Structure 1
Amino acid sequence: MNFLQDTVSIVKIAVSVLLALASWLLIRFPAPFRHSLNQRPGLTLWSSFILLRLIPFVVVYLILNFGPRNDTEFFYKKAYSAFQGKMVYRDFLSYHAPLFGYLISLPLYLWNNAKILVPFMAIFEFAIVWATWRYYRSTRPDALLMAVLYFLLPVSFIAIVLESEEDIWFWGVGLITLAYASRKQSSLWIGVIWGLSMIVIKSMVIVLLIPLFFLVDNKFKYVLGLALVGIPSVVILYLLMGDAFLMPLQHSGYHMTPNIVSVTRPVLSGLYNQISLTRLNTISLLITMSLASWVAIRYKHLGYQKLFPSLFILTFAIFMLAQPSAPGFYLYIYLIVVAFEVLKMEDKALAFQLILLNVLLVIQPIVWVVYGGMQNYDDWKTVFSTAACTTDYLIQVVEVILLIVLVRKVYTHVKTLDRATKPSFAAQS
């Protein structure tokens, strides 16, 4: 395929580069933006939403009349099946939680078209951004700037406008648990809320539930909260459809990029090819939960409210690095948390790395899928077989390095929080 003929790819890359430049200007020269944006925060948030979500939707889908692609099309198929009253897993394919298809079918009552899912997801995203800004505005003077930056970042833009992704919902659930963290019976309610996410969003949240077990104050009540939702749900699903409700587990049957396995495959393909992808995913899942659990145990004294945002980032970032079936766009799960919790305006290096990672995560799937033939790179000969394969592999290497740097930065942030609490401990003693 001629690169110039792939209009969608060119537009994706061009828009991503422009958004990256705008993001960098916001970081590089924050003072004038801070002064003008802080005057009317509500107007700023709404304007960002309209300019960077609603207007692009109108231009792309209503004026230019582009048809939805990728996940939007797949989401519509399950939403339409749910809209018709069909049974999830038994009557239609779904790798999400049992209630997800029925939830995203709601906008079809307004307009039975796949395009409606884009503004539907954008509204959810906007509510989560607004709630995140409200949560951080008392501790971060530049919280509004971070909200605008989030709307500008290429991955969040593409994830909503072109893909209608839902992964940011996990952070929305996390925000709700943070609101309950200081209340009585907090561990119970945290378990109930995360249990609900398992039946509303998707089962991938299990990677976070184990580390949270070591973070909550009352582990028994946390497990009880999960069980209050989980056990009746499993019983009902089994009675309705037998073991068909295990369908989401099949989603891990595909190689994705970038991750440690994909970039080390030219060297370790002999080892990887002796292990099934399912087993590799299981091993990586155990590695992710073990490392995240260690952080939760090591820094439990910081408490749920202080540690959870960083633990959230670390868990899903390590998951991206370790899991052979994790796509790069999983950055969307925790991108907003990185902006509000870890990124500082004075840390220009981290800001540049984050923006670069955003751009590369847009470009790399295009190179890998459209021009590289989705190669697994079992040897160096394949890596250097074509210019597209070489470019793709090098981009993957840079992405993995940037993700490792991000994990290290977040862990350093956790240690900084830990040091900040030690004087208070000394004073108490």
Structure 2
Amino acid sequence: MNFFEDTVSIVKVAVSLLLAIFSWLLIRFPAPFQRLLNPRPALTLWGFFIFFRILPFILVYLVLDFAPRSDTEFFYKKAFAAYQGKMVYRDFLSYHAPLFGYLISLPLFLWNNAKILIPFMAIFEFVIVWATWRYYRAVRPDALLVAALYFVLPMTFVAMVLSSEEDIWFWGVGLITLHYASRQQSSLWIGVIWGLSMILIKSMVIVLLIPMFFLVDNKFKYVLGLALVGIPSIVILYLLMGDAFLMPLQHSGYHMTPNLVSVTRPILSGLYNQISLTNLNTISLFITMALSSWAAIRYKHLGYQRLFPTLFVLTFGIFMLVQPSAPGFYLYLHMIVVLFEVMRSEDRAFGFQLILLNFLLVIQPITWVIYIGMKNYDDWQAVFASSVTAADYVIQVVEVALLIVLVWKTYLHLKMLDRTASPAYSIPSQRAGSSSVS
């Protein structure tokens, strides 16, 4: 396929480039934007949501009548099957949690069309962005600008408008647990809430649940909370469909990019080819949980409310780096937390790196999926087989380097939180790290 004949790809790259430029202007010249936006926070949030989510939806899917692509099409298939009353895993394919297909089938009662999933997912996203802004506005004077930046970033725009991704829901769940973290029996409720996410979203959250075991104070109540949801769910699923409920585990059977495995494969393909992808993913999963668990143990004294957002970013940042089956769009899962928790307005270099990473994560799937056919680079000959493969590999290397920077910056932020955790350091009560998780 000739790139210049692929209109959709050209438009996607052009729009992403314009969004990247706008994003950089927000970071480079924050003062005039803040003076413009801060007096009317509700109008600002609604305005950016409408302009960067609702209007593009109307233009692309209603005016131009484009058919949904990517994950939206796959989501609709499972939503429609659930809408018809079919049994998940037994009657239709799903790599998500057992109730996810039924949840996203709800808008089909209004309009039985795949297009309806995009505004449905966008509403969830908007609620989570709004809640995040409210959570951070007391400690970040630029919180409203950060929320606006989130809507403008290329990857978050494409992930929602073109793919209706749901991964930001995990952070929404995290916000709910932060609300309960200062209450009595909080460890129990945190376990229950994350257990519910396992049956509502997808099982990938397991990578975070293990490190949180070392973060909460009352580990028994945390595990009890998970068990109160998990054990009945497993029993019911097994009685209904046998071992078919293990279907989501098959999602680890696909190579994705970019990650450390994809960029080191030309050098280490002999080693990787001796290990099945499933085993390689399992090893990577343990690496992620081990490193994240170490951080949870080492900095547990910071408290759940102060440590969890950074631990959230650190866990999924490491996961993206080491997991061979983790696609680049998983950045959408924790991008909003990176902006509010890790990024600082004075660190413009890091802001530029985040924008560049967003842009590259939009254009790299175009080369790797459409033009290369998702093939692995098992040697240097495969890398330099054409200008497209060489360009794709270079982009992957840059993306991985930027992901390493992101993880390192997150770790430095964690150390900064540790340095400021002293009696002389005070923060608003809603972010207080001294609240116990019992």
Distance 1:254 1:68 in 2: 23
Matched, 1:421 2:431: no
Alignment of 1:98 onto 2:98: yes
Q: Secondary structure at the match of 2:344?
A: coil
Greater CA drift, 414-423 or 11-20: 414-423
CA-CA distance at 1:372 after TM superposition: 2.1
Q: Deviations over 1:401-424 (max 9, x none)?
A: 000011000000000000001455
Q: Distance in 1 between matches of 2:63 and 2:216?
A: 50
Cα offset for 1:207?
A: 0.3
Contact 1:45 1:148 in 2 (8 A): yes
Alignment partners' CA distance in 1, 2:119 and 2:236: 32
CA distance in 2, matches of 1:83, 1:424: 56
Aligned mates of 2:237, 2:423 — CA distance in 1? 51
Structure 1 gap segments, 5+ residues each: none
Question: Do structure 1's residue 164 and structure 2's residue 164 form an aligned pair?
Answer: yes
- Residue of structure 2 equivalent to 1:315: 315
Instruction: For residues 298-353 of structure 1, give each alpha carbon's deviation from its aligned partner in whole angstroms, at most 9, with x where no partner exists.
Output: 00000000000000001001000000000000000000000000111111010000
CA contact (8 A) 1:375 1:389 kept: no
1:396 partnered with 2:396: yes
CA distance in 1, matches of 2:308, 2:129: 17
The range that moved more, 109-118 or 338-347, is: 338-347
- Match of 2:334? 334
1:371 paired to 2:371? yes
Q: Which runs of 5+ in 2 are unaligned?
A: 426-433
AA of the residue aligned to 1:239? L
Aligned residue number for residue 189 of structure 2: 189
- Are 1:228 and 2:228 an aligned pair? yes
Shift of 1:371: 1.6
| Residue 369 (structure 1) shift | 1.2
Is the 1:269–1:378 contact (alpha carbons within 8 Å) kept by the matching residues of 2? yes
Aligned counterparts of 1:48 and 1:3: Cα–Cα separation in 2: 31
SS at match of 1:26: helix
Query: RMSD of the alignment, in Å?
Result: 1.0
TM-score by length of 1: 0.98
Partner of 1:304: 304
User: Secondary structure at the residue paired with 1:19?
Assistant: helix
Aligned length: 426
The residue number in structure 2 matching 1:274 is 274
SS in 1 for 2:193: helix
In 1, distance between residues paired with 2:220 and 2:22? 48
Q: Which moved more, 1:374-383 or 1:194-203?
A: 374-383
Aligned twin of 2:346: 346
Given the two structures, how large is their TM-score scaled by the length of structure 2?
Answer: 0.96
Quote the sequence identity (%). Answer: 78
Query: What amino acid does structure 2 have at the position aligned with 1:17?
Result: L
Instruction: State the 1:290 CA deviation.
Output: 0.2
- The residue number in structure 2 matching 1:154 is 154
State the distance in 2 between where 1:165 and 1:406 align. Answer: 21
1:55 aligns with 2:59: no
CA distance in 2 between counterparts of 1:268 and 1:424 reads 50
Q: Give the 3 Å change call, closer, same or farther, for CA 207–270 of structure 1 in structure 2.
A: same
1:98-177 aligned within 5 A: 98-177=98-177
Q: Secondary structure at the match of 2:36?
A: helix
Match of 1:70 in 2: 70
The equivalent of 2:430 in structure 1 is: none
What code does the residue aligned with 2:42 have? G
Contact 1:263 1:397 in 2 (8 A): yes
Partner of 1:209: 209
Is the 1:259–1:320 contact (alpha carbons within 8 Å) kept by the matching residues of 2? yes
Quick one: distance in 2 between partners of 1:245 and 1:424?
51
Q: Which amino acid aligns with 1:354?
A: L
Q: Which amino acid aligns with 2:353?
A: Q
Q: CA deviation at 1:129?
A: 0.1
Per the alignment, residue 429 of structure 2 pairs with none
Q: Which amino acid aligns with 1:229?
A: V
Q: Does 1:361 align with 2:366?
A: no
Quote how far apart the aligned CAs of 1:375 are: 2.1
